[in-house]
Chains A and B, each alone.
Chain A
Amino acid sequence: MYELRDVRKVFDDGSVALDGMSLTVGAGEHVAFIGPSGAGKTTLFRILNLTLRPTSGMLRLNGTDVATLSGADLRRARTSIGTIYQQHNLVGRLRVVHNVLAGNLGRWSTLTALGSLLRPRATDEAARALAQVGIPEKLYARTDELSGGQQQRVAIARVLIQDPDVVLADEPVSSVDPTLAVSIVTLLRDISNESRKTLLMNLHSVELALTYFPRILGIREGRVHFDLSPDKVSPEMLEELYAGHGDERGELAALGEGTNSFGKACRPLPGFDR
């Protein structure tokens, strides 16, 4: 699916977000990315969804070097990648139905898109997507009147409509309560399983990552720190991954007591009982 070799991203202000990242993700794989704030996870996802251009290095999507893509090809490639952002990034003044149907914009002609704004088309499809994320009654609500968690689910419904080959979810549960967080992560996992999509997810919660993903990528300072199955990830590795990031350490300590923010849903992880 994805192949990155030595990808670097330096922003105009000189900050180095990715510093030589190499990794390969196969079709249909589920991968969780964890790492301290500022490690470059969001930047990586924006490169993977073809928004940002790497400063150097190479990115292949299904074997094609994406640097060669432009125009209609680039648009088609983007249509095959669905992104759920850290901030919801919805258009607050539009009704939910339009935000969901915007998942079709990669395929719709301008005229169809305009027509649907005036008289929504494919509303049953949108309704089904909303039902799948558990808020069917919000179809015609104004988006900025929804709660943060509901908006997150609208963003997921949009990706369902888009029906991409890859789903990139950038901390999809940072704004919802712990039980909902678990249900959103499992929802994304199940959807991806059903239609054999590749699923990449950034998670602040080590617990969720280790519980629900078969492959864990630790990112630190713009590089891959480790790339392991969850049972190989040791507390020492996590200590090292988050070294120098005090707030996230707190969460690690709580993991050992089984009293972290995910409450009853969580058991103490083996190896954290110090």
Chain B
Amino acid sequence: MARPADRFPASTAKSAFPYLLAVAFALTFALSLRAAQVDPRLLFDAQALGNVARFVRGALPPKLDPEFLGMLARPAAETIQISVMGMVIAVLLGAPLGLLATSSLTWRGILHERVTRRARLMLGAAPYGAARALLSVFRSIPEYVWALMFVRAVGLGPFPGVLAIGVAYGGMLGKVYSEILEAVNPRPLETLHAAGAGKAGVVLYGLLPEALPHVVSYTLYRWECAIRASAILGFVGAGGLGQQIELSMRMFQFDEVLTLLAVLLLLVGTVDFISGRIRARVVR
């Protein structure tokens, strides 16, 4: 029997690659340390420690009087509502664009063997390219920046937050949907196609059922992110808990801030729980 070394000569050969990689990493790390002005001492100098102490003293105990808690119900609900409406828009944008951005569905691969080159480019590749470009614009601009723009456009309140999440997350969902769909085993799709099914039939009876667990799972994960994001968006005036946090911070009401953060934690935990239940049902 051949010794392992005979069968896998590559594994015993001396290669410089790992060492080069290590040097490159060390260099990047050192440069970043300087450029990002990382200085642990700043965390521990007297002034910083004083500030931290002031925050902690101010925050404890958290403000729990019924009047304040009652006042939180509305922004908490608003945060949820922003995330849900934002996700609805995100799915409505991401799903059709994601389908168009799936090359195996629009212009490449076994479903297009008998489509003329011209039709493939005009009716397939062109919409595919447009969808991908749009998706990448949507998701490369941070939701925070989208919110700033929408606040300008439609004014303060939850609506710009909804739009910001819808567009930014629509871009992410569409991109990931298309990757999930392209990874689906093409053989069952070929079978449907060969039996006379059109694109819609292939999508409904092959592509979507096969991809459903991943699609649902990723969408729920994004919803969890949207809750956190909708809190951040409050900082630029897009409503919800974030706006309250920002207000209380500015007034140095750290006990309120702590309560608000606790409520946010509760919301994220609840969403986590609900999406876990949905996942368990769908992803089998």
Enumerate chain A interface residues (CB-CB to B < 8 A): 46, 49-53, 69-70, 74-76, 78-83, 85, 87, 89-94, 98, 102-103, 105-108, 110, 113-114, 117, 158, 162, 164
Interface residues of B in 98-147 (CB under 8 A from A): 110, 113-116
Q: What's the least CB distance linking B209 to chain A, in Å? A: 5
Tell me the B121-180 residues at the A interface (CB within 8 Å).
Answer: none
Determine if B210 is an interface residue (Cβ-Cβ < 8 Å): yes
Cβ of B29 under 8 Å from chain A: no
> Which of chain B's residues have a CB closer than 8 A to the CB of A74?
114
Known contacts A80-B196, A102-B192, A158-B195; 12 further A-B pairs (Cβ under 8 A): A51-B110, A53-B114, A69-B114, A78-B196, A79-B195, A89-B188, A89-B191, A91-B188, A93-B212, A102-B201, A105-B192, A110-B201
Task: Give the chain B neighbours of A92 by CB distance below 8 A.
Answer: 210
Give the interface centre of B114, B193, B200 by most chain A CB atoms within 10 Å: B114
CB A25 to nearest CB in B, in angstroms, measures 18
From 170 to 228 in chain B, residues with beta carbon under 8 angstroms from any chain A beta carbon are 187-188, 190-198, 200-201, 204-206, 209-210, 212-213
A83 with B205: in contact, given A51-B113, A74-B114, A91-B210 (CB under 8 Å)? Answer: no
How big is chain B's contact interface, by range?
20 to 34
Residues of B within 8 A of A (CB): 110, 113-116, 187-188, 190-198, 200-201, 204-206, 209-210, 212-213
Assess the A75–B191 pair: CB atoms within 8 A. no
**Interchain CB contact (< 8 A) of B195 among A83, A98, A114:** A83
> Please, which residues of chain A bring their CB within 8 A of the CB of B209?
91, 93-94, 98
* A93 / chain B contacts, CB cutoff of 8 Å: 209-210, 212-213
Specify which chain B residues have a CB less than 8 angstroms from the CB of A94 in the assembled complex: 205, 209
User: Is the Cβ of A106 less than 8 Å from the Cβ of B205?
Assistant: no
Jot down 25 A-B pairs with beta carbons below 8 A, ordered by A.
A46-B194, A51-B114, A51-B194, A69-B114, A70-B114, A74-B114, A78-B195, A79-B196, A80-B196, A83-B191, A83-B194, A89-B190, A89-B191, A93-B209, A102-B195, A105-B192, A105-B195, A105-B197, A110-B198, A113-B200, A113-B204, A117-B204, A117-B205, A158-B195, A162-B195
Chain A contacts for B114, CB-based, 8 A: 50-51, 53, 69-70, 74
Chain B's closest residue to A77 (CB) is: B196
Asked if B195 and A89 make an inter-chain contact with CB atoms under 8 angstroms apart, the answer reads no
B273 CB to closest chain A CB (Å) equals 25
Rounded to whole Å, the gap between the CB of A161 and the closest CB of chain B is 10
Query: CA–CA, A46 to B191, complex, Å?
Result: 10
Q: How far is the CA of A98 from the CA of B209 in the complex (A)?
A: 11
CA distance A94 to B207 in the complex (A): 11
| Contacting residues, chain B, for A87 (C-beta < 8 A) | 187
Question: Within the complex, what minimum Cβ distance (angstroms) separates A94 from chain B?
Answer: 5
Q: Please determine whether A110 and B200 come into contact, CB atoms closer than 8 angstroms.
A: yes
A37 to chain B, nearest CB (A): 18
Q: Give bound CA distance, A114 to B204, whole Å.
A: 7
Q: What separation, in Å, do the CA atoms of A113 and B116 have in the docked complex?
A: 27
Do A53 and B195 touch (CB < 8 A)? no
A42 to B116, CA, bound (A): 24
Whether the Cβ atoms of A106 and B195 lie closer than 8 Å is yes
B205–A103 touching, CB < 8 Å: no
Measured between alpha carbons, how far is A162 from B205 in the docked complex, in Å?
15
Residues of A within 8 A of B110 (CB): 51
B206 — which chain A residues lie within 8 A by C-beta? 91
Taking A51-B110, A85-B187, A113-B200 as contacts, is the C-beta distance between A91 and B205 under 8 angstroms? yes
In this complex, which of B110, B114, B191, B206 has the most chain A Cβ atoms within 10 angstroms of its Cβ? B191
Partner of A85, one of B113, B191, B204: B191
Contact of A50 among B194, B205, B212 (CB under 8 A): B194
Q: How far is the CA of A88 from the CA of B194 in the complex (A)?
A: 14
Give the Cβ gap from B10 to chain A, nearest Cβ, in Å. 24
User: Which residues of B have CB within 8 Å of A164?
Assistant: 195
In the complex, A89 Cα to B198 Cα: how many Å? Answer: 17
Q: Give bound CA distance, A82 to B110, whole Å.
A: 17
- A272 to B208 CA separation, bound complex (whole angstroms): 51
Task: For A85, list chain B residues within 8 Å (CB).
Answer: 187, 191
List chain A residues, Cβ under 8 A from B210: 91-93
Top 10 nearest A-B pairs (CB, nearest first) are: A106-B196, A79-B196, A105-B197, A105-B201, A110-B200, A89-B191, A78-B196, A89-B187, A49-B194, A93-B209
Of all chain B residues, which has the CB nearest A48? B194
Q: Are B194 and A78 in contact (CB under 8 A)?
A: yes
